[in-house]
Amino acid sequence: MNIAIPIFDQITALDAVGPYEVLSRLPGARVMFVAAEPGPKRTETGMLALVADHRLDEVPEPEVIVVPGGYGTRPLTSDATMLEWLARAHETSQWTTSVCTGSLVLGAAGILDGLEATTHWLELEGLRQYGATPVARRIVEQGKVLTAAGVSSGIDMALTLAARIAGEQYAQAIQLGIEYDPEPPFVGGSTAKAPPEIIELVRSAAATLA
């Protein structure tokens, strides 16, 4: 099973690496980090680079697509090479998924029109321009299209997807393998639970905090 994860400059690393860590453990999985031009892609902070080993056109028909987010998705939403690859790959994929603002790229490729979808909480309204209905949930499943909320939600999305692909027992084994029994130190990891002053702090410092 070929799993394509497009990466790009100004990516949020965890958006890609969370799902990679889960999906690479599926039986027969081959995860490929793809880009129009292979090579190292820098995160938003510039402090880390992930390497894209494969050209987009080398992987035309992946069974699974995972589009991660980050500031770098903004230019991608008008990048013809990426959007054409995505639209075409989606025709034959078994699962088309995104994490965080990766859903805006799915939207720009015409994949979310008429669907419910999610993204990072700061960007939810941006989904409307692509004909999608924003939903403030951690994972939104619409047929073969799964969109996940901000950054860390890709882990939950990928485990959900692993259960669909390989069964619940296998997905449980992956969850135990990566020891995913979260103990976040605070309760406020979503806007539904965070104190208003913390939400305001993130809004006003979105460039560094979100």
CB of 114 to a copy of itself, least distance (A): 25
CB of 117 to a copy of itself, least distance (A): 15
SS in 3 state form for the chain? CEEEEECCCCECHHHHHHHHHHHCCCCCCEEEEEECCCEEEEECCCCCEEEECEEHHHCCCCCEEEECCCCCHHHHCCCHHHHHHHHHHHHHCCEEEEECCHHHHHHHCCCCCCCEECCCHHHHHHHHHHCCEECCCCEEEECCEEEECCCCHHHHHHHHHHHHHHCHHHHHHHHHHCCCCCCCCCCCCCCCCCCHHHHHHHHHCHHHHC
CB of 141 to a copy of itself, least distance (A): 12
66 is catalytic: no
Q: Do residues 15 and 99 touch, judged by C-beta distance below 8 A?
A: yes
Nearer to a copy of itself, 10 or 83 (CB): 10
User: Comparing C-alpha atoms, which of 6, 64, 2 is closest to residue 28?
Assistant: 2
Nearer to a copy of itself, 53 or 61 (CB): 53
CB of 195 to a copy of itself, least distance (A): 8
Nearer to a copy of itself, 128 or 203 (CB): 203
Nearer to a copy of itself, 109 or 160 (CB): 160
> From the candidates 100, 112, 140, 149, which is the catalytic residue?
100
Catalytic residues: 100
